[in-house]
Structures are given as structure tokens and as C-alpha cells.
Amino acid sequence: RMPQTHGGMKSSDVHFHKERIWFGTSKRNNGVPLQFFLPTLPVSTPSNHRPLLSSSPSETVHRPFRLAHGTTTLGFIFQGGVIAAADTRASAGGLVACPAVHKITPIHSHLVVTSSGSGADCMLWERILTREIRLYQLRHRRRLPIHGAAKLLSFMLHPFKGTNVCVALTLCGWDKELIYVCSDGARLQGDVFSVGSGSPYAYGILDRGLKDSLSKDEAVSLAREAVFRATHRDAYSGNNVDLYHITRGNKTLHHHR
């Protein structure tokens, strides 16, 4: 019996396997592990066929022209909680691909994420993170802490270091935690982050006006001004300003035009 073929390639030519990653157990949770699946590269490929997945950036098929993209996102901690703000412009080179993109995404009841980088990559990894946090809660009957979610995301992204994956997420938690994770696996915790092509301009406003003693209205006004000034100077940022105020047990969205 002849093996099935797909586009001239035998089904036996390429073999994929899924690797189960065990992320620790706990007596508190009856020893149930946090586990997730990561796709791995093909085990073997014939010499006359190009691999479906490649670990070498030099083998990647590049676009005939470069599509630069930029954004402005920020997050900071103050005495009243956490503020997350971002513009809404999606750019592809000199083209405004979409003027109303949501760059701030509620991941769970206690977590909001700001995204910078490739739009498709950010959407994919936000969905993966959402899935893993929900699965963790179902298995362990408790929420995954913000620092745990950041560590998990960093662990999942690290194998893609050196590839064309472009993801930069800032995790803003209701317990006044702010953690930045990018696609090379880096994980940084701080009190203020601004990411994207407009971030130098946003930092200029934040460095001047950010104080822990800000009231809610002052913090909202500062975040709005920082993004607005960045969109004024940065061609890749613009249109509207989305803004979240995150407090324990509550997320309030302020949308400014």
C-alpha cells in the first residue's frame, strides 16, 4: 500500500511531535501540574524538501520591502492603582493599516496587557496567555499571580528568540504589579514602562509629571497627555487614546478622542 502524499511529499517525510512541558506541582493543588504544549521543529526532513519550520533566521523568506511599524503604549503605578494607555493606530510602513486597533487587552479579571510589535504576533500570544491563565485557574482553583503569568509567557516566548516573532507585552495587574515581557524572553519588573516608537516622547512627559501621590484624575490626565504628545511627534502613532485604570477587583476604561 502506497503512503498518502500531500503536494508531492509523502506523509512519512516530515514528522512533528508535541512536547509536554511540566511546570511544577503543588501539594496544595493535589499534585496537579501546570502543563502546556509547545510546538517543536520537524524531527527530520528529506534533503530535497525545504523544512516547514526553520530555526535559522537566515532561511526565512523576507518581504520584498520592509514594512516598518510603530506604536506608543505605556503603563505606570501610582497610589490609586495602575494606569495603562495606548494609541490606536496600526501602521505598515507609510500606510495606516487601521485607525482603531485595541492595543490594551483584558486578559483576565485581574490582568490587562498592553501590546507592541507585530499585530498578528501580539494577538496570537495574548490568546495563548489567556488560555493558559484560564486553564491554570480550572486546574488549581485559584488565579495565576501576575509574576507567574509573566514568567510563563517569558518561558513560552524564549524558544522564538532570534526569529521574526515580534512581541512586547506589558502586564498590568490589579495588585499594583507592572511587568514587561518581550519576544526574546526578557522579563523586567518596574514602576513605569513605555514601549514602541513613540516611547521616548512619552517618557519625557512621564518623567516630568509622574509621582506616586497622583490622584486618579491627575494620573489619567498624565497618561493621556503622554500618549498624545507621542502621537504628535511619532508618525507611526496616532488616532485615539485608549486608557485603563486598574484597581483591585475593578477595571475602568476611559476612551479619549
Average pLDDT score over residue span 52-79: 68
pLDDT band at 174 (very low <50, low <70, confident <90, very high): confident
Predicted model pTM = 0.74
Catalytic one of 71, 72, 114, 231: 71
Whether 69 shows a pLDDT value over 90: the answer reads no
What pLDDT sits at residue 30?
42
Domain ranges of the chain: 73-256
Kindly write down the DSSP assignment for every residue of the chain, as one continuous string.
-PPPEETTEETTT----EEEEE----GGGTTPPPEEEEE---S---TTS--SS-S-GGGSPPPSS-------EEEEEETTEEEEEEE--EEETTEEEES----EEEEETTEEEEEEE-HHHHHHHHHHHHHHHHHHHHHHSSPPPHHHHHHHHHHHHGGGTTSS--EEEEEEETTTEEEEEETTS-EEE-SEEEESTTHHHHHHHHHHH--TT--HHHHHHHHHHHHHHHHHH-TT--S-EEEEEEETTEEEEEEE-
- Say whether domain 73-256 belongs to CATH 3.60.20.10: yes
pLDDT band at 185 (very low <50, low <70, confident <90, very high): confident
pLDDT band at 229 (very low <50, low <70, confident <90, very high): very high
pLDDT band at 73 (very low <50, low <70, confident <90, very high): very high
For 189-223, the pLDDT digits (tens) are: 999 999 999 999 999 999 999 999 999 999 999 99
Catalytic annotation on 72? no
